[in-house]
Amino acid sequence: MIIKTDDYRIECIDPTRAVIIGSLRLPTPSAYEPHFKPIKEKIEKLRDPYTINITKVSFLNSSGITAFARLIFFAKEHNVPIIIEASETIPWQEKTITSLGKLWSKVSIQFS
C-alpha cells in the first residue's frame, strides 16, 4: 500500500519494510493513525524484525513523534523488533530518534 499526499509518501509494499518520505506535520497524534495503520497491519503479522526507513523525512512534528512512539509501543505489544533507518544529516532525526529508541530494548537505529 502507498499513501501519497503533496507533502509525504508512506510505502508499505514490502511485508517487512516501510519507507516514509517527506514532511509530516499533521495536527494531532490521532491524525497520524490512518496513515500508520498499514504499518501496524504488517507488524502484527510478523515475527521477524520490521524496518522503517525515515532517511528522507525532513520534518516530523511533535504530534508525529507521539504517533511514532505509539508505533513502537504497538511493536512491543506484538514483540516484533523494530529497525529504524535514519539520517544523521537531518537535525530532528539525530536526537529524537535516539530518544525514541530508548522506549524499548528491541528498537535498533541505523544512522546513515
Partner 1 sequence: MVEYGHFKENLSAKTLLTCELKLAFRPLDLMSKWQRCGLTADFVSQFETIGQSHIRTKNVLSTIMNELLENAVKFSCDKTQFVDIHITADDTKIRIEVTNNADKQDTDTLKSFLKLFFSKDFDVDTFFMKQVEKGENVGYGEGSQLGFYTMTHNYQGHLSARIEKTEMANVYKVTIAIELEKESAHDHQN
Binding site for partner 1 (CB under 8 A): 7, 23, 25-30, 58-59, 61-63, 65-67, 69-70, 73, 89-92, 94-96, 99-100, 102-103
Which grid coordinates belong to 63?
504530534
Judged on CB neighbours under 10 Å (0-12, 13-18, 19+), 100 is buried
- Quick check: helix, strand or coil at residue 1? coil
Q: How far is the CB of 95 from partner 1 (least distance, A)?
A: 4
Q: How far is the CB of 52 from partner 1 (least distance, A)?
A: 16
Q: How far is the CB of 69 from partner 1 (least distance, A)?
A: 4
Cβ-based nearer residue to partner 1, 34 or 91: 91
Q: Which residues, 6 or more positions from 67, have their beta carbon under 8 angstroms from its beta carbon?
A: 26, 29, 32, 33, 36
Cβ-based nearer residue to partner 1, 15 or 56: 56
